[in-house]
Each structure stands twice: as C-alpha cells, then as structure tokens.
Amino acid sequence: MSSLHIGLDAGGSSTELLARASTESLSSPKEETRLQGDGANPERSGHAEAVGTLAELVGEAVRRHPATQLRSVCAGVAGAGSGERRQALAGRLHRALSEVAPRARVRLVHDARIALEAAFGNASGIIIIAGTGSAVFARTEAGTLERAGGWGYILGDEGSGYALGRAGLRAVARALDGGPATRLQALLSNTYGANSRAALVGNVYEAELPLQEAARTVLEAAAEGDAVAARILDEQTDALARQVAWLAEREATIAPQVVLFGGLTKNAHYVETLGRAVRGALPANCSVQPASCPPVAGALRLALREDPGREAASNAPEAPPVVSLCA
C-alpha cells in the first residue's frame, strides 16, 4: 500500500495542506495534493475550532487518496504557543485524526519552524516574516530556534504592514498640521479621508479602518519617489534589519543567509529596500532572497521525517518537496 504524508500551514486567515502519496521505492512517482481551508489560529478561533479545521482538511486529503495509509502529519500552527499548550493542542489533533489515521504520527510545531525548513532544510539560516506583523527567526547549526522581534503592533512589528500603514497615516496627519507635504495625502484621501482632520480621525478611530491597508499606498508612493514615503520605508526596513543583526550577533553559529516570507515580500520595491538594509547590517558574505518554497512545503518535509519507515535525511534526493510549489 502507498504511504500518505501531510504537511499543514495553519495561519490566522487560511490554512494550506500539502499531501504526498508515494510507495517505498525512491524512484516511484510522487502524487501531490494541495488543499486550502479556513484559518486555524487557536488564539483567534479557540482550540476546538482550530483542531476541527485541521482535521477536516486532513480527512479530505485522506478521502482523495483511498489506496494509501496516512503515516505522518506535521502542522505548523500560528498562535499554538509552546510547552504544555502546544502539547495539549497536538493531543487534541491526534485524537481528532484517530478515526481516519489511527497509526499516523502527528507533530505540531511553531509556524516559524516550517518556514525555516522550507528555506534551508536542515541547514542554519535566518528568515524574516513581513506581513501584517513582522518577526525574525533563525536556526542555529545545533538546530535550536532563535527569534527577535514579533512583539506585536503595540511593542514592535517594525517593517510590517501595520507599521508602514500607521507611519503613512501619521505623515498625513503631520502634513495637515503644516508639516512636510507628501503624495500620501492625495493617495489616501478616498479611503481614509486624508484631506481633513475630521475625516481622518473618524476613519481611523471611529470606523476603525485597518491601518495596514495603507501600507500598499506607502510602498507605491516610495517607489514613485515621494520623499516622505521613502523615508518611512527606509526607517522601517532599517529597524527590521537591526533585529536580524542582533540575532546574528547573539548567536554566532547562525549562517548569514536570509530568506524573506510574508505578504510584503511580494512587493519588489519592499524586497529591494529590505535587502539593501539587511546586507548593510550583516557581513559582506550574506545572502538575502525571497522564499522559493512556501512554508507548507517545509511542513511536508518535516512530516516525511516523522515516518520511521523512510530515510530521515531531508537532503536525500526525494525529500525536498515539492517541485510543483518551489521555484
């Protein structure tokens, strides 16, 4: 019977599943299935709903591969916590899967671990996650997980969509007070009412329009040469690059290779500016590049390692998934 291995990337807004069905032969073809479902962040939706979402996706993958035996599952879960909280969530997931996969190994890890796995396999390196929030994670040569940033929108999240949007709207407020002029005022006028104090205050504080939605406009204005927007982008990416440098200085065995994840890294101007800042903060031999594999590919790779019947080395020719997902 063929084996089935499943990786999951469970975020706040959506969950991705990647399944691989294969025989014991390393040369046999691998059949891969990709599914998407609702978010499964237990801090937002609660443990029961998060586990239900994961179990539903796994069950659907099993139904699509009826002639296989599910051998292992690895889920990278945002908001899963650590220690006892994560173990409790893993136990609930294992029980939820007992009907469809009573013998499967189930592993639940920090969502940064699957991104590191997707980026570097077993090797050391640094990832920057820059989306609505931001954080920096690294794996040392000994395999330990280190982090900097990720303090949330009140204490940190430098270089994030929230930070860029907030800084852009602050710049508009200063312009209304007579400060430096910026194209952001015109560009944000329709959405945030940036042409008047009353409209701007009402949209931000009363209507509670999400500040991170302004980040795209800040990036657009910066790319077009607006001095205020360009300064915001430089300041935010410099702050994020400093976190990378602090992490590298704190742990000398972290390799100076950096891979970028998150929604903001799909913007070419953001990637260029952040890359320049990181290269200026790290040794001359560092490399900075956007991710070529999504985190869910790292989750599948970890799931493959959980199967005792397979070779565990992630650098074996068949182990790095997933040709269809990795550039």
Question: Is there a single domain that holds both residue 135 and residue 220?
Answer: yes
Residue 158 lies in a domain: yes
| pLDDT at residue 192, as a whole number | 92
Tokens of 14: 């959506």
Residue 248 lies in a domain: yes
- Condensed to tens digits (0 to 9), the pLDDT of residues 31-51 reads 889 999 998 888 777 888 988
**Domain tally, the chain:** 2
Question: Is there a single domain that holds both residue 159 and residue 175?
Answer: yes
| pLDDT at residue 120, as a whole number | 94
Flag the least confident range among 68-72, 166-170, 274-278: 68-72
Question: Is there a single domain that holds both residue 192 and residue 206?
Answer: yes
Question: Is there a single domain that holds both residue 108 and residue 220?
Answer: no
Q: Can you give the pTM of this predicted structure? A: 0.86
Question: Is there a single domain that holds both residue 200 and residue 110?
Answer: no
- Condensed to tens digits (0 to 9), the pLDDT of residues 143-153 reads 999 999 999 88
Question: Is there a single domain that holds both residue 128 and residue 250?
Answer: yes
Residue 51 lies in a domain: yes
- Condensed to tens digits (0 to 9), the pLDDT of residues 227-277 reads 999 999 999 999 999 999 999 999 888 888 999 999 999 999 999 999 999
Question: Is there a single domain that holds both residue 104 and residue 137?
Answer: no
Question: Is there a single domain that holds both residue 142 and residue 51?
Answer: no
Question: Is there a single domain that holds both residue 139 and residue 242?
Answer: yes
Residue 323 lies in a domain: no
The DSSP element (H or E) to which 173 belongs, if any, is helix 161-176
Residue 41 lies in a domain: yes
CATH of the domain at 108: 3.30.420.40
Place of tokens 């962040």: 41
Question: Is there a single domain that holds both residue 84 and residue 199?
Answer: no
The pLDDT > 90 percentage for the chain reads 62
| pLDDT at residue 304, as a whole number | 93
Model confidence at 1, pLDDT cuts 50, 70, 90, reads low
| pLDDT at residue 319, as a whole number | 44
- More confident of the two residues 22 and 227: 227
Whether 66 contacts 22, CB under 8 Å: no
Sequential DSSP letters for 185-197: HHHTHHHH-TTSH
Query: In the predicted model, what is the mean pLDDT of residues 129-141?
Result: 93
Closest CA to 18 of 105, 76, 80: 76
For 125, 129, 138, 157, 223, the CA distances from 244, given in Å and listed in that order, are 11, 11, 9, 13, 24
Question: Is there a single domain that holds both residue 87 and residue 143?
Answer: no
For 91, 215, 221, 297, the CA distances from 319, given in Å and listed in that order, are 27, 38, 43, 10
- Condensed to tens digits (0 to 9), the pLDDT of residues 82-96 reads 677 778 888 888 888
Residue 87 lies in a domain: yes
Whether 243 contacts 149, CB under 8 Å: yes
Flag the least confident range among 69-83, 162-176, 282-296: 69-83
Provide the domain limits for residue 10: 2-119+294-306
Question: Is there a single domain that holds both residue 173 and residue 114?
Answer: no
The chain-wide mean pLDDT, for the chain, equals 88
Residue 321 lies in a domain: no
Residue 314 lies in a domain: no
